[in-house]
């Protein structure tokens, strides 16, 4: 039996109804779940998914903890869990400093802030109602360990396929069946690898500016690439930074290529014990076209 990936869906302005229709179709086609990234009101999209789908699981991936008070998040999460019949999971993360700084939001230490936020969420359960399962964005080991301690699963984004089994080994065998794991993996279906990789270079162009991601990729074995990227960023040379993003690195944390190559790569992610979340882009269209290309892959 072919294991299906989960699918990332974003409620883009003026395209939300179309995305909901695609989400319902993904359910009918047997996809593993729907992930709503932390952009464009993802909890609002999750409310809509509760009413436009019937059986598929879905989750925020992720809801930044600094955007809402835990009492408000608890009320929203409990509501979505209740009206969806328990299909919703709340994915939480600390997001990224540049975005939070632009919004003027004060942040602290990620691990302690996350621990305190979850404690406040759980205290709110009596008034909000039963909370859904909690998933933590856990790119690096310390947050993964915290997720093992206080949550029900862990989420990655742009993770390295070659490094992921090392992190999965941190999870005790007794927890692996119940502890949910998923990774948001940028995916482009196009036999022209150079064209597909060019899309990924743009997608990951913002992430290479984030120290926590560069530190993760160093640990994953891409120290030379990260050294070159840091030198280019320090010089303000974005072209050089993009050139430093090697194909070896791109191919390890994204998926590109023909239908067969993409399907095989998604299967490799499943083999690690981590459900791949296909974050679709296309060389010839927008989100809806890219999702249609993924549907064709499994038709």
- What pLDDT score does 121 carry? 97
Q: Is residue 107 part of a domain?
A: yes
Cα 138–Cα 139–Cα 140 angle in degrees, nearest 5: 95
Residue 127 lies in a domain: yes
Q: Residue 86 domain-assigned?
A: yes
pLDDT band of 95, cuts 50, 70, 90: confident
Task: Please tell me whether residues 218 and 161 are part of one structural domain.
Answer: no
For the chain, give the mean pLDDT.
Answer: 95
CA atoms within 13 A on the CB side of 39: 10
Residue pair 61/155 in contact (Cβ under 8 Å)? The answer is yes
pLDDT score at 213: 96
144 with 231, same domain? no
pTM equals 0.96
Question: Does 49 map to a domain?
Answer: yes
Structure confidence at residue 2 as a pLDDT band (50, 70, 90): confident
Is residue 225 located within the same domain as residue 280?
Answer: no
- Structure confidence at residue 38 (pLDDT): 75
Number of domains comprising the chain:
2
- Let me know whether 146 and 274 are in one domain: yes
Dihedral, CA atoms, 104, 108, 109, 113, nearest 10 degrees? -100
pLDDT band at 99 (very low <50, low <70, confident <90, very high): low
Asked if 117 and 239 sit in the same domain, the reply is no
User: Are residues 99 and 229 both part of a single domain?
Assistant: no
- On whether residue 1 sits in a domain, the answer given is no
* 175 and 86 within one domain: yes
């Amino acid at each position: 039996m072919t294991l299906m990936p989960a699918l990332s869906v974003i409620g883009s302005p003026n395209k939300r109804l179309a995305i909901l229709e695609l989400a319902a179709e993904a359910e009918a086609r047997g996809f593993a779940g729907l992930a709503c990234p932390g952009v464009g009101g993802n909890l609002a999209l999750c409310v809509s998914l509760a009413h436009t789908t019937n059986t598929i699981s879905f989750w925020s991936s992720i809801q930044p903890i600094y955007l809402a008070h835990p009492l408000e998040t608890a009320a929203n999460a409990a509501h979505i869990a209740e009206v969806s019949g328990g299909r919703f999971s709340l994915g939480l993360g600390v997001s990224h400093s540049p975005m939070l700084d632009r919004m003027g939001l004060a942040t602290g230490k990620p691990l302690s802030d996350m621990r305190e936020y979850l404690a406040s969420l759980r205290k709110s359960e009596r008034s909000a109602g039963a909370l859904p399962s909690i998933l933590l964005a856990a790119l690096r080991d310390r947050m993964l360990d915290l997720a093992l301690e206080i949550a029900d699963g862990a989420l990655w984004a742009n993770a390295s396929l070659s490094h992921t089994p090392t992190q999965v080994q941190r999870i005790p065998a007794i927890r692996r069946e119940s502890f949910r794991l998923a990774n948001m993996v940028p995916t482009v279906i196009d036999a022209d690898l150079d064209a597909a990789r060019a899309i990924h270079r743009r997608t990951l162009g913002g992430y290479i500016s984030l120290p926590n991601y560069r530190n993760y990729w160093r640990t994953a074995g891409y120290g030379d690439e990260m050294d070159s990227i840091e030198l280019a960023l320090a010089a303000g040379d974005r072209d050089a930074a993009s050139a430093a993003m090697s194909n070896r690195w791109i191919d390890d944390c994204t998926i590109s290529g023909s239908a067969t190559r993409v399907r095989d790569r998604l299967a490799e992610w499943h083999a690690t014990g981590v459900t791949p979340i296909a974050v679709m882009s296309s060389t010839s269209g927008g989100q809806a076209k890219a999702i249609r290309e993924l549907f064709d892959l499994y038709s």
